[in-house]
A and B are shown apart, each in its own frame.
Chain A
Amino acid sequence: MKTRSFMTSMRDFLRALWAIVWKDLSAEWRSRELFTAMLVFSLLVIVIFNFALELDVRARSAVTSGVLWVTFAFAGTLGLNRSMATEKDRGCLDGLLLAPVDRSAIYFGKAIANLVFMFVVEAVVLPVYSVLYNTNLFKPGLILVIFLGSVGYVAVGTLLSTMAVHSRTRDILLPILLFPLAIPVLIAAVKASSGFLAGLEIAEVMTWLNLLIVYDLIFMAIAFMFFDFVVEE
């Protein structure tokens, strides 16, 4: 009986992982359905906030990070849901499960693809917001926070979307499952974003960055451990 060496398995794992990421991005690039939906939704949310909060210039700077993160959170759930739904509805998830590769490759592949979707949306939302509200959002600290926050959000979201997709009420269920668990990310991300936008030094924002990093590490580990239980029949 042939046994595969560790290096071969590792290579297979990474190859499968990137194959999944590439597949998701290519398929999305063809149809652009998901991306368009996420983007239009985000812009709508920003516009609605404009009317709902009736912000004058001063008040606006206080709520900018809040508005941004609410937008990202909701657009994120759209992406997470659709990503898993396409797999399940055409039975493609079975196709992935049939492959002789560790299940976590599916988790990381999907998570990375979801993360890329979120980044792309965020990359469009930031300049649009900057222009609409005449504020400069391109501070490097902010980019870092958006990165860390998205990673944590997607780590948990990918796992939960794998569960939610089996439910009849999948679209409304994912936010319900995700938001209570993502509160630490949202709080830390909003506070850190505000800090950077207000021009604070890194040292002052450090607590929140630490919280984000800790959350990301812990929940990536937990999510990937539980993924096996959730993805198999």
Chain B
Amino acid sequence: MESKPRFLSVLDSITGILFVIATYMVFFYAPVEAVMGKVQKVFYFHVAAAWVGMLGFMVAAIVGGIYLFKNDRKWDIVGLAAVEISLVFFFIAIVAGSIWARPIWNTWWTWDPRLTTASIVELIYAAYLMLRQGIEDPDRRARFGAVYALLGFLSVPMTFISIRLLRTIHPTVVGGGDPGAEGSFSMTTPMKQTFFFSLFTFSVLFADLLWHRVRMGKLAAKIEHLRLRAL
């Protein structure tokens, strides 16, 4: 049994500390936004989680490609870990988005392109997990997962564009992560700093969780191996 590598423990601590600092910055350092008030602070975590979730999808797709090329099972473990974590991060992003939307536009949900695409991506993640669950042979499971992750990732830009084109009659979504022309705001310097810091924190959190999950995956594979040996 390998024990937890020292660097991972260090990373855990770093992640914890970063998170504390980020929370502090969000609540105390960043100024309260003029129009939207305190609820705007959700934005920092909302965007960070979404961005990292998307990063996870890209990781899953790339790693899937590598697996198809090299056939080394460890890439499959990373891909599965990336999808699972991204699933959660995206969910957090969507929920945070809802919390933000409610007081501003008096609705829990808006069918704007970004949010809609996010839900579709979430469904792709779920489909990925369901696909894996139904396949018994581990090699085939890994191969199918890789193909679907790649296929899914490649479909997202087109999905986003088509929803965007669909909604051009509604208030447009403009960059910077704000979901509505009425809800837009420009960022002052401390806000920018908070924003980038939370982005950084979430990225580190993702890497930390990914490492843990990959370790778990490797241990699970080892157990499976030992169990079949004993038969």
Contacts and interface: CB of A to CB of B under 8 A. Distances in A.
Given A176-B127, A180-B120, A163 B147 contact: yes
A167 B135 contact: yes
A136 B134 CA distance: 44
B140 A187 contact: no
B124 interface: yes
B212 interface: no
B158 A214 contact: yes
A89 to B, nearest CB: 16
Interface of chain B: mostly helix, strand, loop or mixed = helix
A218 B158 contact: yes
Given A211-B165, A230-B147, A183 B159 contact: yes
Given A180-B124, A211-B161, A156 B135 contact: no
A197 B69 CA distance: 47
Contacts of A164: 131, 134
B150 A177 contact: no
Task: Place the interface of chain B in its size category.
Answer: 20 to 34
Task: Place the interface of chain A in its size category.
Answer: 20 to 34
A44 interface: no
A173 B130 contact: yes
B206 to A, nearest CB: 22
Nearest to B160: A184
A222 B140 contact: no
Interface of chain A: mostly helix, strand, loop or mixed = helix
Interface in B119-175: 120-121, 123-124, 126-127, 130-131, 134-135, 140, 143-144, 146-148, 150-152, 154-155, 158-159, 161-163, 165-166
Cβ-closest 10 pairs across A and B: A167-B134, A184-B162, A184-B158, A187-B162, A180-B123, A181-B155, A180-B124, A163-B144, A176-B127, A177-B127
Interface of B: 68, 120-121, 123-124, 126-127, 130-131, 134-135, 140, 143-144, 146-148, 150-152, 154-155, 158-159, 161-163, 165-166
Interface of A: 156, 159-160, 163-164, 166-170, 173, 176-177, 179-181, 183-184, 187-188, 191, 207-208, 211, 214-215, 218-219, 222-223, 226, 229-230, 233
